[in-house]
Amino acid sequence: MSGRKFEAGPAGKLGNRKNFREKIRHAFAVTNAADALTDEDLLMLDKVARLIVRRRLEAPVIMFLQTVTPLSFLSSQLLLVLEPILGPFFKEEDYKQLVRILEHRDGIDRFICKIEHLIKESQHD
């Protein structure tokens, strides 16, 4: 047996709770600065949002996006499955860029905000 002794922390738990929290603070982080949306990505979101508002599909699209937001990566993969149906409405490279944007955790939220902003703009005109 080694000579190391473990000290019990508060409530009889081993180790220091604060130290443990510091060690795992970013353990579940899924984004970093390199994953930020580019200007091209933001232009693509604007383009697709305008298409949706022009065709008056805001409500079903926002409802769908809010439903799949917790599973943003899986929802982007769902768009790959739906490519044969939705593909004719987009250029191939634009569709793939949209899927890549929606893989980002904040991509869906930004997309919804853009659609809502365009709705408010169209109501004031």
> pLDDT confidence of 6, banded at 50, 70, 90?
very low
Q: Rounded to an integer, what distance in angstroms lies between the CA atom of residue 5 and that of residue 45?
A: 57
List the chain domain ranges. 33-124
Q: Which helix (H) or strand (E) holds 113?
A: helix 107-124
The closest alpha carbon to 79, from 92, 90, 66, 95, belongs to 95
Alpha helices in 25-106 (DSSP H): 39-54, 58-68, 72-81, 83-86, 92-103
Q: What is the pTM of this model?
A: 0.61
Task: List, for residues 33-90, the tens digit of each pLDDT value.
Answer: 446 788 998 898 899 899 999 999 999 999 988 887 777 778 778 888 888 898 888 8
Residues 119, 101: Cα–Cα separation, whole Å:
21
